[in-house]
Amino acid sequence: AQTVTQSQPEMSVQEAETVTLSCTYDTSESDYYLFWYKQPPSRQMILVIRQEAYKQQNATENRFSVNFQKAAKSFSLKISDSQLGDAAMYFCAYRSGNNNDMRFGAGTRLTVKP
Amino acid sequence: NAGVTQTPKFQVLKTGQSMTLQCAQDMNHEYMSWYRQDPGMGLRLIHYSVGAGITDQGEVPNGYNVSRSTTEDFPLRLLSAAPSQTSVYFCAAGANEQFFGPGTRLTVL
Q: Is A54 on the interface with B (CB under 8 A)?
A: no
Q: Which candidate from B40, B43, B97 shows the least CB-CB separation from A104?
A: B43
Which has the closest alpha carbon to A34: A68, A80, A65? A68
Residues 64-103 in B contacting A (C-alpha not used; CB under 8 Å): 88, 90, 92, 95-100, 102-103
Query: What is the Cα–Cα distance from B24 to A106, expressed in whole angstroms?
Result: 27
Please check the confidence at residue B1 and state whether its pLDDT lies above 80.
Answer: no
Q: Check CB contact under 8 Å for B97 and A47.
A: yes
CB A73 within 8 A of CB A26: yes
pLDDT at B37: 96
Query: What is the Cα–Cα distance from A62 to A65, expressed in whole angstroms?
Result: 8
Residue of A nearest to B58 (CA): A101
Place A97 in a pLDDT band, splitting at 50, 70 and 90: confident
Q: How far is CA B25 from the centre of its chain?
A: 12
Please tell me the number of Cα atoms within 13 Å of A18 on its side-chain side: 9
Q: Check CB contact under 8 Å for A101 and B59.
A: yes
Query: What is the Cα–Cα distance from A54 to A30, expressed in whole angstroms?
Result: 8
pLDDT at B41: 82
Write out pLDDT tens, residues A2-21. Answer: 899 999 999 999 999 999 99
Place B95 in a pLDDT band, splitting at 50, 70 and 90: confident
Q: Is A22 helix (H, G, I), strand (E, B) or coil?
A: coil
Residue of A nearest to B59 (CA): A101
Q: Which candidate from A44, A103, A106 shows the least CB-CB separation from B100?
A: A44
Q: Is A28 helix (H, G, I), strand (E, B) or coil?
A: coil
Please check the confidence at residue B65 and state whether its pLDDT lies above 80.
Answer: yes
Q: Is A86 helix (H, G, I), strand (E, B) or coil?
A: helix
Q: Is A45 on the interface with B (CB under 8 A)?
A: yes
CB-defined contacts A:B, below 8 A: 55
Place A27 in a pLDDT band, splitting at 50, 70 and 90: very high
